[in-house]
Structure 1
Amino acid sequence: MKLDAKAKGIELDIFHGPPPKEWQDRNDSIVNDDASQLPTLSFRVGRTSITSKALGPLTRRGPYDLIVAEQAIRHLELYRLLLRPHRTRLGLWGHGRTYTADIPQLQERLKTRITNACGWFFGYTPNGVTSVVEAGFDPDRTTTLFNTIDTDRLRIDLRQVTTDDKTNYRRRYGTQPILFLGALDESKKVPLLIESFKTAAKTNPALSLVVAGEGPLLSYVLDQSSQATGVHYAGSLSGKDKAIALATSSALAVPGRVGLVAVDALVAGIPLATVQSAYHAPEFEYLRPDVDVFIGSATGSDYAQVLTQIAQRERRDQAEPESPVLPLLTVAGMSDRFIKGLIGWAYSEDITQK
């Protein structure tokens, strides 16, 4: 992104904090040499995690014409940035509204008030941008990013999967594997997944469940994989290993929160089974019901039935058109939209004339 920005005449510095403590067990964070980590203080108020990042490195490296911060009211540095002069030169990057948790109405109002005080909004998805516009934000000062993973890399990895790769995967995990891909935590409803799979396997003994990921429920998954027939733990999958699992599995099963795994499913052409939830992340909107995603209720018997049915379904029916959003889901496209948003914002503030 920094190189893309520089080609457009923009000098871009990237600062970030450490992964939240509740995410550290996932072991899926990376260090980016193009970014600088800020010293960060973390503490809890009740059940809410609060962070405060040191802004000294920004002050020393600046001043900046524009600053983009995360749209997160639990990050105290956001309030310090709002107190600086020219707050219309502070933009926010985020979901738009709160998708993944119930929060008090007062907190949502605070998020809206802070968002509306800023100069630009970069939203993950169209619905997120719509939500801030409906709450009073100027639609001409928004950018829809279409948040995504590196789909170009995933496509290359999928093309390199061979027949032997699939054969070996089935020898190891069974002839009709279902794949879970994600964090092993409460938000993904891992116990519901495994109990539902056990019920589905009684109807179709050929089914197997491959669980891939890390997190606080890892010991539970390991216990189940040693005790329950057909349950396998595959560790964390990435690159070619993830591509083999996606290319070979009958379906993706994520009964809990669906986020960027939606993009994995679309690129691989694999149906995804989940449950009706108010807590799916913004990327869930990329999926078309009964085409890309099949939704049950959060009961073991109902979700087991969804797993049974989806495992029998052919990988994306060739008669069905490819998802219309899929061409937009590239890192290059996301970077380009962000940079175009910065340029539009800079012109709106007359920064380009200085």
Structure 2
Amino acid sequence: MLVVQRRLTHYRVPFFERLRADMAAAGLELVLAHGDPTPEEVTKRDGGQLPWAHHLTTRYALGGRLCWQPFGALAAGAELTVITAENKLVYNLVEQFDAASRRVALWGHGANLQGDATSLRERFKARLALRADWWLAYTEMSRGLVEGLGFPKDRITVLDNAVDMTELCEQFAAVTPAASAAARREMGLDGGPVALYLGSLYAEKRVDFLLESARQLRQRLPGFNLVVIGGGPELAVIQAAAQQEPWIKALGVRKGMEKVVAASVADVMLNPGLVGLNILDSFAGGLPMLTTDCGLHSPEIAYLESGRNGLMTANTLDAFVEASLSLLTQPERRAAMAAQARADALRYTLAHMSERFTEGVLGALAAPIRRGRT
């Protein structure tokens, strides 16, 4: 079985190691192939490496909107190829339309949740979504999207997309009060409330909205601080704000225990824009996430239960600030929400995701090829 990734991120490395073992236990060999990130993605500093993975020649065009990654030589010996559902991946068309003798599974969100569903681009993607023998859907939200396109529901496997939650939860649990206090001193934090932003920094994350909401909270909450962990094309915006306003702490990219210890100083997580896998960081750290109903979220937003393990507000600055202020000034409510978040961290694990992925692969291999039929 061949799995193709446009690029390999560090948070996928433990998953593919686990999946390789699960596939072997099922009598299958996992072949993983990946290419290179775009120049913009390089700034996120989130790349990963696996010595047993195959590297694909990668060429981008139209400012990264098209990508050519030929993987036909690797696919030739496979019974099944798993490819990601992205319009930019031109070579996918070769596999979906010409690989008549092997099965093709699509892995993805089910739709571009940041795109215009009525656009020619998204209508084209919706048609291609039917050109598959199986679907590996990120979440239950993704399943609904794929079913809504007319894909047979008995050929969809929900993965419950995750990162290595076992390690992440253990890391947060291992942070001592002394280590957290030392991190506060290092950042120059006083005893006031702290909000955390954790994740990549790009347009859909709404960095300007984040900064303006933080400024309003600073005016209304004495000693309020914002800690920002992450990199990307919008990092310079955060760094410029931090130079002018020292209560904003721009830490850049941090990984492993360094990231966890820095995150441990926070009371809540603020993410007014696109929410993706970083919601699992909020669960593991017991940091209730506040976001908005902005229409930009990835399928992992399905894990958020507003009022239980986090909060989703109306898509206005006032609503977001008022909800943040309320939660930061109600410690008992915040503690109850944090406890629910930690409990939910145990629901979304790499072991579960790998198990579901393996079940989907076995289902695809057992089913006849249906590609092209609606």
Structure 2 length as normaliser, TM-score? 0.86
Question: How far has the Cα of 1:265 moved from its partner?
Answer: 1.1
Tell me whether 14-23 or 260-269 shows the greater mean CA deviation.
14-23
1: CA distance, partners of 2:52 / 2:190: 42
- Name the residue aligned to 2:311: 294
- Name the residue aligned to 2:90: 76
- Name the residue aligned to 1:20: 38
Structure 1: stretches of 5+ with no match in the other structure: none
Distance 1:10 1:286, change over 3 A: same
For residue 170 of structure 2, the aligned residue among 153, 156, 171 is: 156
Q: Which amino acid aligns with 1:32?
A: L
| Alignment map for 1:164-313 (pairs within 5 Å) | 164-171=178-185, 172=187, 173-175=189-191, 176-313=193-330
Distance 1:318 1:195, change over 3 A: closer
RMSD over equivalenced CA pairs, Å: 2.3
Distance 1:87 1:327, change over 3 A: farther
Question: How far has the Cα of 1:224 moved from its partner?
Answer: 1.3
1: CA distance, partners of 2:311 / 2:367: 43
Cα deviation, 1:1-28, whole Å, max 9, x if unaligned, reads 2122111100110111212333221111
- Name the residue aligned to 2:55: 37
Cα deviation, 1:155-203, whole Å, max 9, x if unaligned, reads 1101110010121223333322111111122111112211221111111
Is residue 58 from structure 1 mapped to residue 74 from structure 2 by the alignment?
yes
- Name the residue aligned to 2:355: 336
Q: Which amino acid aligns with 2:277?
A: L
2: CA distance, partners of 1:85 / 1:237: 42
- Aligned residues of 1:87 and 1:117 also touching (Cα < 8 A): no
- Aligned residues of 2:34 and 2:53 also touching (Cα < 8 A): yes
**SS state of the match for residue 26, structure 1?**
coil
**SS state of the match for residue 328, structure 1?**
coil
Question: How far has the Cα of 1:94 moved from its partner?
Answer: 0.5
Q: Which amino acid aligns with 2:43?
A: D
- Aligned residues of 1:213 and 1:235 also touching (Cα < 8 A): yes
Cα deviation, 1:204-233, whole Å, max 9, x if unaligned, reads 122101111111222222221121141111
Tell me whether 82-91 or 312-321 shows the greater mean CA deviation.
312-321
**SS state of the match for residue 284, structure 1?**
helix
Tell me whether 143-152 or 285-294 shows the greater mean CA deviation.
285-294
Structure 2: stretches of 5+ with no match in the other structure: 1-18, 370-374
- Aligned residues of 1:38 and 1:57 also touching (Cα < 8 A): no
Question: How far has the Cα of 1:114 moved from its partner?
Answer: 1.9
- Aligned residues of 1:179 and 1:245 also touching (Cα < 8 A): no
